[in-house]
């Protein structure tokens, strides 16, 4: 119970329906634990023992009406309990998933890149559902079943004081605690297996997600059977983990029922030895049975708590992950930046692997700066430090003389437009995807941005024009079309800083020529960082930085670098030789 205490605040948001559910659960428990044995003890004997005493049919009907009354109370309270618990559970699940999703939005990219997207998806869907089920079950059966048990034991104790069956009751009460032993044993087993189950579920979801994201590659390389085998292996492991839990969880009920049978047999022997009447014996056995039922359900609740604990452990790996990139306590007021970028002694590493070493460079406002170097040299990392996607390990990145860590993230990133190598489009209309650049833009401004990016013509040629839904990640568009929409978003944003990460890599030569014209218009008056392997996109840059093994080994324009830097010359010549 202590393990879930920090998460009980989710119950506050549903305290109305949850209170109703708990009250109905209490009523259900009393009507089950004490009401049913009372019927056996008092109602049936009242009719049959006085059958010869001339009771009228009306009197018998009145006495008999207590039976449906008890069951009616039990049925209505049980229904309302289940309904309001379901309502509470759905709302709790919504809040859990929303908090989990919000946390993912603010976690550093370095954390998200270490985790498989399918596993994160499994945590947000399957694990939150398991935790929601555990919380609502804990709030419901954690009250209802103990109340049922208390009602039954209360009836037994009352019988001990009102009849001569004290010894009989003591025997019954000795047997009941023995039922806890299998509950504790199974609980320990289920906890360990539940951790394995949730991990296997995350792995299978990850395989599924990864496959759907690589459909073209799977077919291109003939990997269909390999993927099917990989998924089958994952599901076999999942089934094995599920059956290990079932092996222990399903053994709980038979074990308690055997103990119940032992208890009833012992009760029968003592009842015979002490001369207890049949009515008292049947009432006591009924109460004893009503005691074992909640014990079984409390045992099942204990198993669900163990599963919930395993799910909670996986969720907490995300929920408790520190958010290292946050707004400062006293942020500087930032409007539209000029765009003077400076790196001062910047060092950065992914975990323990260094990527940038003591980088110091200034990029004046209005400069078109190209980053060149072999793969893994640190170009993309350098660009990602400007919008503070990552936190520098040492040194500082400043814009207009102000450390990026002194700005609100929203203020900083509002001043930056980004066009990625593989631009992401959401499963929405073309128009709404364009609006991501500036959600409040007027219709005419959006059209103008599309025209500037040479995207208007192909958009109007789509089935529904700007209202065409592009599919998941823009799957219904070509790579070049997606790039043009991304460029149109950059036009629409009109930010003073522009980062182009292989922005023309997916374009054919004809499209690239048109886009180069658009880019010449887009970069006017902006500070631009271009990451590109295609030298045609960076030859006219006013400043070129050459990266090698995390350091800037040379800087200048194309002519000076081609003449003086061997690495730059070899990269340039190799590409042109390959093109020839």
- Residue 6 to residues 1, 18, 135: CA-CA distances in angstroms? 10, 18, 11
User: Are residues 403 and 281 both part of a single domain?
Assistant: no
Q: Is 281 inside a domain boundary?
A: yes
Task: Measure the CA–CA gap between 363 and 541, rounded to whole angstroms.
Answer: 12
Q: Is 324 inside a domain boundary?
A: no
User: Are residues 384 and 419 both part of a single domain?
Assistant: yes
User: Are residues 158 and 274 both part of a single domain?
Assistant: yes
Q: Is 329 inside a domain boundary?
A: no
Give the HSE-up count for residue 261: Cα atoms under 13 Å, Cβ half-sphere: 5
Residue pair 154/294 in contact (Cβ under 8 Å)? The answer is: no
Residue pair 92/132 in contact (Cβ under 8 Å)? The answer is: yes
User: How big is the chain, counted in residues?
Assistant: 580
Please say if the pLDDT value at position 230 is more than 90.
no
| pLDDT, average across residues 306-321 | 85
Residue 499 DSSP SS3: strand
pLDDT digits (tens, 9 = 90+) for 10-62: 888 888 888 898 888 888 877 876 777 777 777 777 666 655 466 667 776 77
User: Are residues 419 and 286 both part of a single domain?
Assistant: no
| pLDDT, average across residues 358-368 | 94
Task: Measure the CA–CA gap between 534 and 553, rounded to whole angstroms.
Answer: 20
Q: Is 330 inside a domain boundary?
A: no
What ranges in 320-364 are assigned the alpha helix state H?
none
- Residue where a domain terminates, one of 288, 319, 350: 319
Q: Is 336 inside a domain boundary?
A: no
Q: 314: which 2 tokens?
A: 């996986």
* pLDDT at 169 (0 to 100): 57
Q: Is 332 inside a domain boundary?
A: no
* pLDDT at 512 (0 to 100): 66
- Residue where a domain terminates, one of 287, 319, 351: 319
Gyration radius of the chain over CA positions: 35
Q: Is 328 inside a domain boundary?
A: no
- Residue 382 to residues 112, 363, 370, 500: CA-CA distances in angstroms? 19, 12, 11, 12
- Whichever domain contains 68, its CATH number is 1.20.1560.10
Please tell me the total count of domains within the chain. 2
User: Are residues 455 and 486 both part of a single domain?
Assistant: yes
Name the residue range of residue 162's domain.
2-319
Instruction: Give this prediction's pTM.
Output: 0.71
pLDDT digits (tens, 9 = 90+) for 84-102: 888 888 888 888 888 889 9
* pLDDT at 522 (0 to 100): 81
């Amino acid at each position: 119970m202590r393990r879930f205490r920090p998460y009980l605040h989710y119950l506050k948001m549903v305290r109305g329906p949850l209170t109703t559910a708990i009250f109905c659960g209490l009523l259900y428990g009393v009507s089950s634990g004490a009401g049913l044995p009372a019927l056996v003890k008092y109602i049936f004997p009242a009719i049959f023992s006085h059958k010869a005493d001339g009771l009228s049919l009306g009197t018998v009907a009145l006495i008999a009406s207590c039976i449906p009354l008890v069951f009616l109370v039990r049925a209505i309270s049980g229904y309302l309990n289940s309904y309001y618990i379901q309502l509470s559970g759905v709302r709790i699940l919504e809040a859990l998933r929303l908090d989990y999703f919000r946390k993912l939005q603010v976690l550093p990219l370095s954390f998200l890149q270490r985790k498989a997207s399918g596993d994160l998806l499994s945590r947000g869907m399957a694990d939150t559902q398991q935790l929601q089920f555990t919380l609502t079950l804990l709030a419901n059966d954690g009250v209802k079943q103990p109340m049922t048990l208390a009602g039954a034991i209360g009836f037994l104790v009352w019988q001990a004081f009102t009849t001569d069956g004290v010894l009989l009751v003591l025997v019954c009460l000795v047997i009941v605690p023995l039922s806890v032993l299998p509950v504790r044993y199974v609980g320990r087993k289920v906890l360990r297996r539940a951790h394995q189950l949730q991990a296997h579920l995350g792995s299978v979801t990850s395989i599924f997600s990864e496959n759907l994201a690589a459909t073209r590659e799977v077919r291109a390389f003939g990997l269909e059977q390999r993927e099917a085998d990989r998924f089958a292996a994952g599901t076999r492991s999942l089934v094995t983990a599920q059956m290990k839990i079932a092996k222990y969880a399903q053994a709980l009920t038979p074990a308690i029922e055997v103990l119940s049978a032992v208890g009833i047999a012992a009760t029968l022997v003592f009842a015979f030895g002490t001369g207890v009447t049949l009515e008292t014996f049947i009432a006591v056995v009924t109460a004893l049975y009503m005691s074992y039922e909640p014990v079984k359900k409390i045992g099942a609740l204990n198993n669900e708590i163990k599963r919930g604990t395993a799910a909670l452990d996986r969720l907490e790996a995300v929920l408790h992950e520190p958010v290292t990139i946050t707004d400062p306590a006293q942020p500087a007021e930032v409007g539209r930046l000029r765009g003077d970028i400076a790196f001062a002694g910047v060092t950065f590493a992914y975990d323990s692997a260094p990527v940038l070493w003591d980088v110091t460079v200034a990029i004046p406002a209005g400069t078109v700066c190209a980053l060149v170097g072999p793969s893994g040299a640190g170009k993309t990392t350098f660009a990602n430090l400007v919008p503070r996607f990552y936190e520098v390990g040492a040194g500082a990145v400043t814009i207009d003389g102000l450390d990026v860590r002194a700005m609100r993230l929203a203020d900083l990133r509002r001043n930056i437009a980004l066009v990625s190598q593989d631009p992401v489009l959401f499963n929405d209309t073309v128009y709404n995807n364009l609006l991501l650049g500036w959600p409040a833009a007027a219709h005419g401004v959006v059209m103008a941005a599309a025209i500037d990016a040479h995207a208007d013509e192909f958009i109007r040629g789509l089935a529904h024009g700007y209202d065409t839904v592009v599919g998941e990640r823009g799957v219904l568009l070509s790579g070049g079309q997606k790039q043009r929409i991304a460029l149109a978003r950059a036009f629409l944003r009109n930010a003073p800083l522009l980062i182009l990460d292989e922005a023309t890599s997916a374009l054919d030569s004809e499209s690239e020529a048109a886009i180069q014209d658009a880019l010449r218009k887009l970069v006017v008056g902006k500070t631009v960082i271009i990451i590109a392997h295609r030298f045609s996109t960076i030859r006219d840059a006013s400043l070129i930085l050459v990266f090698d093994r995390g350091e800037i080994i040379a800087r200048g324009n194309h002519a000076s670098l081609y003449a003086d830097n061997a690495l730059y010359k070899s990269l340039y010549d190799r590409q042109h030789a390959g093109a020839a």
